[in-house]
Chains A and B, each alone.
Chain A
């Protein structure tokens, strides 16, 4: 079996490099190679960033009747898209870098959102605590803390939650880890749905959720002195402000993840993903390192959750379910486990599909492709579509759209991903025969 695939792969490679040569991409490539290193590294990212940041300005100029997808997402939809993408980047740390299959990431989203609900709304009528809040009269009851602080608190609290969840979970083997995280991903939303009467105390306001949640802002003083918006919700172009702040949040998350990936801790994560036993033998404390992955993933998930709660002006239990965890997982898999840019692009695509893309495509399909009278609500089947994406990616391109490693001569050679067949059959740490030679899985590379 493997030989047939190898032969196919070699001829595919040869074919591809033929194409590349003929198309003159090679010439373009050489020109690209001659640019100074830093330019090559940063230029694409900066270009993308510029495109993203100026989106609200040129959105009006984009065609409103684009084929298939009809229209481009509004700035308001874009905020949600960016927030989900941020969560996907957070999940990428857990699943992509460290190789821990987390099926309960929605729990972090929920904790973040509800923290915002607790710290920036009228939920706790028993107290009156204001600290840097904006857009709220000063005699409003409840806890009203500046959203910027709330974001940090939510991130920290969620990280702690992640550590707590990790304590029993992270010592388990891959499949059990997945199920247990799924469990937590179910328990926490069910908890917030029902915790409106814990011995009489209303913690989460049950199925109604907590709303309204305060908006971010910079307060009257800064507004008068520097012109910064006092409270987002009171501004005329509130959506744009939310958009840029979300973008900043995403960029911060990406920045931290890049830094971490190239650090000692990031190497430890990838080592654990590649071969946990060997990683431990090389001095990496497994539980501690995995817990850090979890905590960091939770940190960004919580921050994103809190932010979007403020944006949506509420945290509602209906938003949190298992589907979201799988949805985020789909982004990581489609993009490429461990590949930040892959996950960002996949995140944007899938989130857009979720927010309005599928509905638009559905309308187009119903109008132009399907026989009249035959209306298929494409958006209804979105999770089936995500399931198909996951299965197809796993079967045919497990390394994702943009694989984690950019290798030299990438155009010629096929890329490999963390899920490729191991060279040797490796046995687990504590089974009889651990470290013993298994059978080589393919031709053993010889010098």
Chain B
């Protein structure tokens, strides 16, 4: 079932005047940011522009110094990470943070934690309800792994997987949280061109089948321009441009930020 080409029914995420200061350093400077439902938005900018800091604020890892973040109509500015995940925000990390000593299957199962209900007593007693839930969860996890092309390595430890597999496992794990918004932090970093293309197809498939919004931090411009509906450019914690990929490619401020003033003169 493919999505109609006209998304944007409402804004899934609204960041209003969000600011993050570390001591004297302003990492994110009164940023306004929206993510429409089921859209694919890219966030780009030079290193240190504040992209991952912003991600961390969206997911509750950092507390915003000021401003508000609203997700799906709820104020999540001060919520802890697990609460935000439960509301429907899933993420991957810039430097892969899988659980190294757990298998691929277990990693995905952990992602399902907030969607399962099995408790202590039920687990110890082996109640049928809990057993059934575990069986179904394992099934679902296997499906996710299949979707991510990892079915054959589901019993391998995460730390022993190939790099590309690890990246996709992180996505599979994030998908297990049943997100409405998926945050991908430089998912193609370290990938060769072939792996990147595979990954882009994967993201396409994701959007078609899963009806979620995706916020992407990327440095690889082919990826950004190839799949984004909208691109936002950050520099020094501020938004310097926002628009379609075509618009961004020709925006002077963007070129200046990346290549320096000399490039535009």
Query: Are chains A and B touching directly in their complex (CB below 8 angstroms)?
Result: yes
Among A116-124, A150-158, A222-230, A259-267, the stretch in contact with B? A259-267
Q: Is B36 an interface residue (CB 8 A)?
A: no
Q: Are B161 and A445 in contact (CB under 8 A)?
A: yes
Given the complex of chains A and B, what is the CA–CA distance between A284 and B166 in angstroms?
21
**Shortest Cβ distance from B109 into A: residue:** A267
**Nearest Cβ distance between residue A414 and chain B, in whole angstroms?**
12
Q: Is B123 an interface residue (CB 8 A)?
A: yes
Q: Is A47 an interface residue (CB 8 A)?
A: no
Given the known interface contacts A283-B113, A283-B114, A423-B159, the answer about A267 and B123 at a Cβ–Cβ threshold of 8 Å is no
* B-chain residues with CB within 8 Å of residue A282 when the two chains form the complex: 82, 85, 110-111, 113-114, 173-174, 176-177
Interface residue from A267, A270, A278 paired with B93 (Cβ < 8 Å): A278
Q: Are B95 and A436 in contact (CB under 8 A)?
A: yes
Q: Is A219 an interface residue (CB 8 A)?
A: no
Which of A259, A278, A418 is the most central at the interface, judged by chain B CB atoms within 10 Å of its CB? Answer: A278
Given the known interface contacts A265-B120, A283-B86, A435-B52, the answer about A447 and B94 at a Cβ–Cβ threshold of 8 Å is no
Given the complex of chains A and B, what is the CA–CA distance between A444 and B166 in angstroms?
11
**Shortest Cβ distance from A404 into B: residue:** B101
* A-chain residues with CB within 8 Å of residue B100 when the two chains form the complex: 274-275, 420, 422-423
Q: Are A268 and B61 in contact (CB under 8 A)?
A: no
What DSSP secondary structure best describes chain A's contact surface?
A: loop
Q: Are B162 and A435 in contact (CB under 8 A)?
A: no
**Shortest Cβ distance from A256 into B: residue:** B124
* A-chain residues with CB within 8 Å of residue B61 when the two chains form the complex: 277, 280-281, 429-430, 434-435
Q: Are A280 and B80 in contact (CB under 8 A)?
A: yes
Given the known interface contacts A267-B110, A280-B80, the answer about A435 and B177 at a Cβ–Cβ threshold of 8 Å is no
Q: Is B189 an interface residue (CB 8 A)?
A: yes
Given the complex of chains A and B, what is the CA–CA distance between A419 and B55 in angstroms?
29
Interface residue from B52, B97, B164, B195 paired with A277 (Cβ < 8 Å): B97
Given the complex of chains A and B, what is the CA–CA distance between A259 and B134 in angstroms?
12
Q: Are A444 and B163 in contact (CB under 8 A)?
A: yes
* A-chain residues with CB within 8 Å of residue B123 when the two chains form the complex: 259-260, 262-266
Q: Is A76 an interface residue (CB 8 A)?
A: no
Q: Is A416 an interface residue (CB 8 A)?
A: yes
**Nearest Cβ distance between residue B224 and chain A, in whole angstroms?**
18
Interface residue from B116, B118, B157, B185 paired with A405 (Cβ < 8 Å): B157
Q: Is A438 an interface residue (CB 8 A)?
A: yes
* B-chain residues with CB within 8 Å of residue A268 when the two chains form the complex: 110, 113
**Shortest Cβ distance from A422 into B: residue:** B100
Interface string of A422-447 (1 = CB under 8 A from B): 11111001101011111000001111
Q: Is A91 an interface residue (CB 8 A)?
A: no
**Shortest Cβ distance from A407 into B: residue:** B157
Given the complex of chains A and B, what is the CA–CA distance between A262 and B137 in angstroms?
13
Interface string of B53-76 (1 = CB under 8 A from A): 101100111100000000000000
Given the complex of chains A and B, what is the CA–CA distance between A268 and B55 in angstroms?
23
Given the complex of chains A and B, what is the CA–CA distance between A437 and B119 in angstroms?
36
Chain B interface residues toward A at CB < 8 A: 22, 25, 27, 52-53, 55-56, 59-62, 80-83, 85-86, 91, 93-102, 106, 109-111, 113-116, 118-120, 123-124, 126, 130, 134, 157, 159-166, 173-174, 176-177, 185-186, 189-190, 195
Other contacts beyond A282-B110, A407-B157, A447-B162: 4, CB < 8 A: A264-B118, A267-B113, A296-B120, A444-B190
Chain A interface residues toward B at CB < 8 A: 255-256, 259-260, 262-268, 270-271, 274-275, 277-286, 292, 296, 404-405, 407, 416-418, 420, 422-426, 429-430, 432, 434-438, 444-447
